[in-house]
Chains A and B, each alone.
Chain A
Amino acid sequence: MRAVSLSVDPAFSDLKDNFICGYTDIKHKWYCGKSGKHEVDSVAVDTSNGAGPHNIQMFMLSADGTVLNCLPGYWCSQDLNLELELASDLNKVWLDPNLSQGQKDKIFVQKQLNHILDHPMSMIQHSKMQGFDRNAEFKKNYIPDTVSNPQLFLEQATGHINNNFRNAAFNNNANAILNTDNSVDPSSLRLTRLNPVTLYRQRQKQVDPIFKTTDEIFHERMAANPFISFDQFDTGSFVSYGTDHYDKGESKMGPNGNKFTAKKAVGSIFRQVLNQTPLAPAYSLYQFGSGNNHFVSAESN
């Protein structure tokens, strides 16, 4: 995050010019996840927006500590910059003496939700939930707010989700939460409709058919918390999606990002064995003819 996003323009310049910056280590917080090791003298790898939400949260606050915006997990620099701009807009609303608290809250909600539609296609593509985070969502025994299509979610969640819950949800076309004895809590049954914004995005932009993208998830969650103070902000709920363990394996990479794996080791042994056999010239010819030099490029990356 430091080397791939925060220190890169346009976000870097915006942070330098318009923000007072600070940080805190959250390793002792209950909502903090686990992560692979990232040292200053190791390589860094970019990832998708919203990945690793338990391990990093970036708050944009007004000077009095009111939360204007918050990004869970990693965000690429250009997408982060759009959210810094939104925070700047919301700060003007928050500081406007001519608006009532009710008016400010209403504008906050509108701006957060409308911002989803303003995101460029590149940001939406960067924000697709990764496979390991989707799997973690499938294991929940309720339909989480990260789901855009509950019907498809229930179909795909076979094996993870309790039958009582699935039947209740199907029969009622509803959201449902299980009691501790595995019966369905009737108070949790409520009609679920596909969010029109989600429908629009799925139709127009062909994103994940089951899950919302992370840019949509965090804006919806922000919209539920208009202008609250940092002390009252429920970070644990805000970051509750996906797996709590995140590791891109940078610590296992060499200085240029090449990674030692068992597969690579096997490939290396095969090459060495092959070079000692009469098949070596044939294989070289095959590689030369097809332009296939995966092994070489992997070493030199």
Chain B
Amino acid sequence: MHKYKIFQIIFLTILCFEFSGLNSVYAAKQVISTGIVEERVKDLTTQIHWYKNLKEAEAIAKAQNKMIFWVQMLGDIDGGT
């Protein structure tokens, strides 16, 4: 009898978990897997030269008649952020 009650509690708890929506944390977010992240960061940092000095970037932009895309970020563009 005691064993039956334990099974009953477990089963009801699982049902509550299933229908409560708590497991919706598993709903898909757009996650980019590690291999693709590495590949894209490599593309970004090899196909585009990233200047670290704004004055230098301004001089190149003037010479090439282009605008500047200047990112202020926590971390490094090719490392940990």
Q: List residues of A whose CB falls within 8 A of some B CB.
A: 1-4, 6-8, 12, 15-16, 18-27, 29, 32-33, 35, 37-46, 55-65, 68, 84, 87-88, 91, 230, 235, 253, 255-257, 259, 261, 263, 266-267, 270, 273-274, 277-279, 283, 292, 294-295, 297-298, 301
Residues in A neighbouring B22, C-beta threshold 8 A? 263
B67 touches A62 (CB 8 A): yes
A32 CA to B74 CA, complexed, in Å: 7
A43 touches B10 (CB 8 A): no
Interface SS of chain A? mixed
A285 to B: closest C-beta gap in Å: 13
B73 touches A63 (CB 8 A): no
B60 touches A20 (CB 8 A): yes
B1 contacts the other chain (CB 8 A): no
A292 CA to B1 CA, complexed, in Å: 30
> B39-81: which have CB < 8 Å to A?
40-41, 43-44, 47-54, 56-58, 60-62, 64-81
Q: List residues of B whose CB falls within 8 A of some A CB.
A: 7, 10-11, 13-14, 17-18, 22-23, 25-26, 28-38, 40-41, 43-44, 47-54, 56-58, 60-62, 64-81
B33 touches A25 (CB 8 A): no
B25 touches A22 (CB 8 A): no
A51 to B: closest C-beta gap in Å: 13
B64 touches A277 (CB 8 A): no
A29 CA to B40 CA, complexed, in Å: 28
A70 to B: closest C-beta gap in Å: 9
A46 touches B67 (CB 8 A): no
A40 touches B72 (CB 8 A): no
B71 touches A59 (CB 8 A): yes
A22 touches B53 (CB 8 A): yes
A294-B26 contact, Cβ under 8 Å, with A12-B44, A20-B66, A27-B74: yes
Interface centre among A4, A16, A19, A279 (most CB of B within 10 A): A19
A231 to B: closest C-beta gap in Å: 9
B46 to A: closest C-beta gap in Å: 11
Chain B minimum-CB-distance residue to A13: B47
Chain B minimum-CB-distance residue to A251: B80
- 11 new A-B pairs (CB below 8 Å) besides A55-B73, A61-B68, A64-B58? A3-B36, A7-B41, A18-B67, A21-B68, A35-B75, A59-B68, A61-B67, A63-B61, A91-B67, A273-B10, A277-B10
A59 touches B72 (CB 8 A): yes
A294 CA to B17 CA, complexed, in Å: 11
Residues in A neighbouring B7, C-beta threshold 8 A? 277-279
A25-B73 contact, Cβ under 8 Å, with A2-B40, A40-B80: yes
Residues in A neighbouring B75, C-beta threshold 8 A? 25, 27, 35, 38
A65 touches B54 (CB 8 A): yes
A261 CA to B26 CA, complexed, in Å: 10
B81 to A: closest C-beta gap in Å: 4
A24-B67 contact, Cβ under 8 Å, with A43-B31, A253-B31, A279-B11: no
A40 touches B33 (CB 8 A): no
Residues in B neighbouring A84, C-beta threshold 8 A? 69
Chain B minimum-CB-distance residue to A55: B74
Chain A minimum-CB-distance residue to B55: A65
A88 CA to B29 CA, complexed, in Å: 33
**Other-chain contact of A23, B11, B23, B30, B50 (Cβ < 8 Å):** B50
A63 CA to B66 CA, complexed, in Å: 6
**Other-chain contact of B70, A2, A25, A42, A230 (Cβ < 8 Å):** A230
